[in-house]
Structure 1
Amino acid sequence: MLGRLVSSVRVCPYYTARNAINQTQMLTQQKVMQMPKRHWAQVGHVIVTPPRVKVSLLEKVLHSTVMFVVWLAPVMWFLSQVKINRLQYSQKMEETLDTITEKLKHSSISPNEQPVPDIVFHDTMNKDLLSKWPRFKNVVPDILLHKTIDFAQHVKEILRMNIKIYQPYLSTNYTKIPSYSIADFKAVQQYFDKNHLPYHTFSIPNEKKLRVTIRGLPKDLNLNELFEKLRSAKIPVKRVHKMKVKSFALEQAPLILAILPYNKEGLNILRVRKILGHDVTLEPPIKKLRQCHRCQKWGHAQRYCHGQLKCVKCAGDHYSTTCSRDRNSSEPPTCANCGGNHTANYRECFYCPDSEEYRQNRVKRLKYKTETPRFPRQLVTWENVDTNLYKRITNIPKHAEAIPF
């Protein structure tokens, strides 16, 4: 047994060299043992065991350490890797099983589970999302009579019709007429339409619309299908259409604009989380500066305008689509607001709220408003119709009179 251990020690290159040196020394000191001659038919051979070499304890420890590093350490590393791979594989299998189980719950394979609806809602309304839209105001809108008409000539006739209005406000281009109720508001509208008076107004609370931009739907989405799915989910959508964008990224994932009534049922669209299996994001549309395409004035829409018809190119009394002028015409354009040599939609015009001159004058007017006291509004009656019709302050400074709106 000890001989086998010593022979195994000779596997190490260190011991092999040492044994060779010892054997050389022994051969030089004594005669080499002569091996007997053997016959060709003799079977087997004589095994000559070399003389044993004394090995110290330190050499044995060194040899064991080398053998552990060379042979046992790779084996242990290999076994550890196998264990790690088994753990990773088991984790992946558990995740795969969980995913398959979740899909089976929402699939039609299991008869006990209901299919996934086309419209998925959040449990509650997100107040942060709701705050991005303007608050609903249940107020009677004002009627703005265009300044070429003197409203004082029609007040007594309106009072004879038992229509209640508050004291109107005077400005450079408009006479703003607040009504007492929705019924009075509609009666004033009928009177102005009957007498062909130019004016514009805004939508009443029952007609206000909620506009919602939907992101995350595919490009090839059928709008009719989307409309029907929203209606089937009890969302009273009026119409949906794709918004025109110039960005290539938005063309691949288009923006869908949904228009709904601004009421409790219409606000349910803000609880939508998924549409036809797609995660969607809801946001209000970007607010743009409005210009009427009928009278070319700023701040209101054509839908509620009954003003005088004006062309955006030549300021004529016709629609812009029927105008004969174009970019190649020799005649310069004419602004319907200031009469300058530019179109009515020119952003640097004095009447455009985006122009620098308009902003400067608006700052002066706001400063003037803060310095003047406010008076409570009063109804126009037969007692004050001749003495205190308009709600205005005398001694208006010149810079306030020059402001168009």
Structure 2
Amino acid sequence: MEKYTEFHACKPKKDKTFRVVLKNMHQTTDLKELSNSLADKGHMVINIWNVMQRITNVQLPLFFVDLKAQDNNKEIYKITLLMNTCVQFEAPHIKREIPQCMRCQKYGHTRNYCHNNPHCVKFARNHLTKDCPRKTRDEEVICVNCKEHHPANYRGCIRHKQIEQKNIFLLHNNTDIMLISETNFTNKSYIKIPNFNIYHTNHPDGTAHAGTPVIIRYNIKHYEKEGYKQNIFKLLA
């Protein structure tokens, strides 16, 4: 009998694009011509789209541009004239929201590379939200993350608040390395904090008690040594 393992992955670094925001270009500009103009300046466009006002859907003189990752990507910020128009390139605003997968409803990743079992955002059932047979509102809404009666994407969810508090603590205290004890994690538990690498050990018996993670800022050079494990304890270094 085959055993199905749930997991999620991240987009390979070599496949990631370099995104910029183009300002002051007229919203009716032909996208193909715009891509060709950037290519003439040494920037290969992977994708480009016009931004619309969220409520009225009116086109704005604003574009998102995804470039092929190259050594000269940051040179695009020096471009001030494009297609006879004075323009400005900027880096996009970094989203501070905790990413949540629309497939499994867990935090810390998105659906693009998720291979976890699907869960409905409304009823915690094992199906995608779009395939949910229940289309009406009722009181049986259940969050798959905390089992309370609210949708899984509710920002007041206790699970969301716990992750948010951890992120705020690390950022506000300018933390580089931190050791946490008594996480009570199992092999099915998962945590991800932006800009940090996390190495954790759970209790060898697989139950939800004990456990220790080490949290290290991603830009600090480090490596993980082989762990030491016995039936009664497990070490991480």
TM over 0.5: same fold? yes
Query: C-alpha separation between the residues in 2 aligned to 1:371 and 1:344?
Result: 27
Larger Rg: 1
Partner-residue secondary structure (3-state), 2:66: strand
Residue 274 (structure 1) shift = 1.6
Asked if the contact 1:238–1:259 (Cα under 8 Å) also holds between the matched residues in 2, the reply is yes
Residue 278 (structure 1) shift = 1.4
Query: C-alpha separation between the residues in 1 aligned to 2:166 and 2:44?
Result: 43
Are 2:63 and 1:277 aligned?
no
Letter in structure 1 aligned against 2:127: H
Partner of 1:348: 156
Partner of 2:178: 369
Residue 264 (structure 1) shift = 0.8
Asked if the contact 1:237–1:266 (Cα under 8 Å) also holds between the matched residues in 2, the reply is no
CA RMSD of aligned residues (A): 3.5
Query: C-alpha separation between the residues in 1 aligned to 2:145 and 2:45?
Result: 37
Residue 233 (structure 1) shift = 3.1
Partner of 1:379: 226
Partner of 1:266: 73
Q: How does 1:281-292 map to 2 (within 5 A)?
A: 281-288=88-95, 289=97, 290-292=99-101
Letter in structure 1 aligned against 2:224: R
Query: C-alpha separation between the residues in 1 aligned to 2:131 and 2:61?
Result: 33
Query: C-alpha separation between the residues in 1 aligned to 2:35 and 2:64?
Result: 11
Partner of 2:123: 314
Are 2:143 and 1:335 aligned?
yes
Q: 2:64 aligns with which of 257, 275, 278?
A: 257
Asked if the contact 1:236–1:266 (Cα under 8 Å) also holds between the matched residues in 2, the reply is no
Query: C-alpha separation between the residues in 2 aligned to 1:316 and 1:310?
Result: 5
Say if 1:203 and 1:252 are closer, same or farther in 2 by CA, change over 3 A.
Answer: closer
Letter in structure 2 aligned against 1:391: L
Residue 343 (structure 1) shift = 0.9
CA shift digits 1:96-146 (9 cap, x unpaired): xxxxxxxxxxxxxxxxxxxxxxxxxxxxxxxxxxxxxxxxxxxxxxxxxxx
Query: C-alpha separation between the residues in 2 aligned to 1:294 and 1:201?
Result: 13
Partner of 1:235: 43
Query: C-alpha separation between the residues in 1 aligned to 2:234 and 2:149?
Result: 38
Query: C-alpha separation between the residues in 2 aligned to 1:312 and 1:242?
Result: 30
Query: C-alpha separation between the residues in 1 aligned to 2:77 and 2:117?
Result: 39
TM-score for both structures, normalised by structure 1? 0.41
Are 2:111 and 1:302 aligned?
yes
Query: C-alpha separation between the residues in 2 aligned to 1:195 and 1:286?
Result: 42
Query: C-alpha separation between the residues in 2 aligned to 1:390 and 1:245?
Result: 53
Say if 1:371 and 1:293 are closer, same or farther in 2 by CA, change over 3 A.
Answer: closer
Partner-residue secondary structure (3-state), 1:270: helix
Q: Sequence identity, in percent?
A: 25
Partner of 2:5: 197
Query: C-alpha separation between the residues in 2 aligned to 1:281 and 1:247?
Result: 25
Say if 1:329 and 1:225 are closer, same or farther in 2 by CA, change over 3 A.
Answer: same
Query: C-alpha separation between the residues in 1 aligned to 2:54 and 2:178?
Result: 41
Higher strand content, 1 or 2? 2
Partner of 2:236: 391
Asked if the contact 2:50–2:59 (Cα under 8 Å) also holds between the matched residues in 1, the reply is no
Query: C-alpha separation between the residues in 2 aligned to 1:347 and 1:325?
Result: 22
Higher helix content, 1 or 2? 1
Say if 1:348 and 1:266 are closer, same or farther in 2 by CA, change over 3 A.
Answer: same
List runs of 5+ in structure 1 lacking aligned partners. Answer: 1-193, 393-405
Q: How does 1:5-404 map to 2 (within 5 A)?
A: 196-246=4-54, 251=58, 253-288=60-95, 289=97, 290-326=99-135, 328-352=136-160, 355=161, 358-360=163-165, 369=178, 377-379=224-226, 384=228, 391=236
Query: C-alpha separation between the residues in 1 aligned to 2:85 and 2:33?
Result: 14
Say if 1:296 and 1:359 are closer, same or farther in 2 by CA, change over 3 A.
Answer: closer
Asked if the contact 1:236–1:265 (Cα under 8 Å) also holds between the matched residues in 2, the reply is no
Asked if the contact 1:237–1:259 (Cα under 8 Å) also holds between the matched residues in 2, the reply is yes
Residue 217 (structure 1) shift = 0.8
Asked if the contact 1:211–1:259 (Cα under 8 Å) also holds between the matched residues in 2, the reply is yes
Asked if the contact 1:293–1:301 (Cα under 8 Å) also holds between the matched residues in 2, the reply is yes
TM-score for both structures, normalised by structure 2? 0.66
Query: C-alpha separation between the residues in 2 aligned to 1:307 and 1:362?
Result: 24
Residue 363 (structure 1) shift = 6.5
Say if 1:390 and 1:258 are closer, same or farther in 2 by CA, change over 3 A.
Answer: farther
Residue 236 (structure 1) shift = 1.4
Say if 1:360 and 1:219 are closer, same or farther in 2 by CA, change over 3 A.
Answer: closer
CA shift digits 1:308-345 (9 cap, x unpaired): 2111122221111121334x333432212111111111
Query: C-alpha separation between the residues in 2 aligned to 1:199 and 1:310?
Result: 14
Say if 1:337 and 1:233 are closer, same or farther in 2 by CA, change over 3 A.
Answer: same
Partner of 2:205: none
Say if 1:350 and 1:261 are closer, same or farther in 2 by CA, change over 3 A.
Answer: farther
Query: C-alpha separation between the residues in 2 aligned to 1:226 and 1:208?
Result: 21
Residue 371 (structure 1) shift = 8.4
Structure scoring higher RCO (CA < 8 A, sep ≥ 6) equals 1
